[in-house]
Amino acid sequence: MASATATGKLSREEFRRQKDLDAARKAGTAPAALDEEGKAINPHIPQYIAQAPWYLDTGAPSLSHQRIPEYDRSADKLDNWYDRGAKAGPAAKKYRKGACENCGAMTHKKQDCLERPRKKGAKYTNKDIAPDEVIQDVASGYDAKRDRWNGYDPAEHKQVYEEYAALEAARQKLREEEIDKQTTTDLAAVRKVAKAVKEKGEGRDDDFGSSDEDDEDQDKYAESADAVGQKLDTKTRITVRNLRIREDTAKYLINLDPSSAYYDPKTRSMRDNPLKNVPPEEAMFAGDNFLRFSGDAPEVQKLQLFAWNAAARGNDVHMNANPTQGELLHHQYLKKKEELKDTTKVSILAKYGGEEYLEKAPKELLQGQTEEYVEYSRTGQVVKGKERAKTRSKYPEDVYVNNHTAVWGSWYDPTSGTWGYACCHSSVHMSYCTGEAGIQAAQASSAKNLLEGPSSSSSMPPPPVPSDSAEDRKKKAEELFSKKRLGEGELSLDKDRLTQALSDERKRKARGDDDDDRLGKKKKGGLGQSYEVSEEELEAYRMNRRISEDPMANYVDKEL
């Protein structure tokens, strides 16, 4: 007998003893093996049936893995389903805390509400609160979970059928009315022509003689008024679609050139494009290969190529044996590739810099043209097309506060040199707008200041009156731009004062004082008053000044 063995590899001695025991059990000299219920196991059962798989092996002889597990069959009924649309009693009259903010029901939240979103929810209006739904815990079995029609009420299809039947009846009535109208018009024209022929005596008498012939003419004109692809039955007046008219063209009829793309009549396939001079995107049929390489077909090819490359490098990846594993590994490979690419890019930019050169300008600036056509008139108005939107800044624009209709800085007062609002001529920022009354008050105030200006401002000194004489202007120019004032030209220096100034300058240089200390010690009347440097002191300063910044100051030409 081939019984279930314990997990693990048997030694040679244990395997031989097991074989002897199985042979004895088959011969009847040894008792049969017992399962967990104490029942004997037939020793003639093949090993592949008696041996449990690794995920069901208990380590003892058993045939429980061959039996159907027992479970509650009552939960596997297909009619065991919840009541669709059942409501739990009447609706509440006031909004309850924790209910849906949209409809007011307690059985779901706002993001799960299936009602139309209200402008103001039931939380704020306390109106039209929906009743609570009946929440049922249905324990469905294996078949019930996978039945796509579970819980469907067949009576609902009757409403759909009636709706389609009503639409078809209305469409049929409309067709009959159109046909009757067209036939009546044609028949009236025929009868008018027949009456005119009879009055003139032209033609034969039997052309338009009987009512049967009129009916035949009516049917003839009605049948000729049919649309393409339809047929009118004049007896029943029902328009029937003619299924013999086919709008699709066979592949082998697209190009009748024998040297064009090959057509396989057995599989009805044409792999190449029959029209080589037409782009595949514009062609009516671009070949079966064009369709084969569209959609997700390129992604499958990339996945297959990744599996081959991974298998060539020693990885256990197979596209057909385990497609889920291949898909996950391919996704991880692409993710790590992007991360490595970003890391490399960041490291190169951190080492060499140049990130500012990778930023691209907008497409409108690079190309300088767009597909938007705008036509302007001579006055600058848009005649045709859509005007380009104006670029807005990050700061708030056209925001009016405190009842103003203009922004701050839209008005300037030349008399006082201040800025303000153009709507009320107020120069106080963030003030309340007074409108036309404020403008009139500002004008009256400015006029009053102009009239009372000399008397009211008597405490202030009057502005200097400029002199218009030519001699005064010439004298003032000489004082401002004379060479003597600028330290240029011929100067008359006192030798004794110059000698004393040179001595003082040398002493100051020896002490290391700067110019401010020298001037501060010689100021008359303290440090708060100004001190005028004499010409002798200025000349002594120039004579003892060192030009340390001149690179050629200590240069000596040794060749001379």
pLDDT above 60 (res 219) = no
CA distance 434 to 160: 67
Look at residue 313 and tell me if it is in a domain: no
Secondary structure percentages of the chain, helix, strand, coil, to 5: 40, 5, 55
Whether residues 210 and 230 share a domain: the answer is yes
Whether residues 41 and 62 share a domain: the answer is yes
> What spatial distance separates the first Cα and last Cα of the chain, rounded to whole Å?
127
Look at residue 253 and tell me if it is in a domain: no
From the list 533, 514, 535, the residue with the least C-alpha distance to 523 is 533
Whether residues 12 and 62 share a domain: the answer is yes
CA distance 131 to 126: 13
Q: What is the mean pLDDT of residues 508-520?
A: 65
Whether residues 186 and 230 share a domain: the answer is yes
Share of the chain above pLDDT 70, in %: 71
Look at residue 290 and tell me if it is in a domain: no
CA distance 239 to 312: 66
- Per the structure, how many domains does the chain have? 5
The residue range of the domain holding 439 is 396-449
Whether residues 229 and 167 share a domain: the answer is yes
* pTM metric for this prediction: 0.24
Whether residues 402 and 428 share a domain: the answer is yes
Look at residue 401 and tell me if it is in a domain: yes
Q: Contact 104/129 with Cβ under 8 angstroms?
A: yes
Express each pLDDT in 79-97 by its tens digit: 667 777 788 889 999 999 9
Q: What is the mean pLDDT of residues 66-72?
A: 79
From the list 388, 382, 383, 356, the residue with the least C-alpha distance to 369 is 388
Whether residues 166 and 236 share a domain: the answer is yes
CA distance 49 to 71: 23
What pLDDT is attached to residue 487? 54
What pLDDT is attached to residue 204? 47
Look at residue 474 and tell me if it is in a domain: no
Whether residues 61 and 105 share a domain: the answer is no
Look at residue 199 and tell me if it is in a domain: yes
Segment among 126-140, 149-163, 244-258, 339-353 with least mean pLDDT: 244-258
Segment among 124-133, 289-298, 382-391 with least mean pLDDT: 382-391
Q: Contact 98/135 with Cβ under 8 angstroms?
A: no
Express each pLDDT in 425-480 by its tens digit: 888 888 889 888 888 888 887 777 666 655 444 445 555 555 556 677 777 766 66
Residue by residue, DSSP assigns 243-307 as: TT---PPPGGGT---TTSS--BTTTTB--S-S-TTS-TTTSS---HHHHHTSTTHHHHHHHHHHH
- Specify the CATH number for the domain of residue 101: 4.10.60
Q: What is the mean pLDDT of residues 339-358?
A: 89
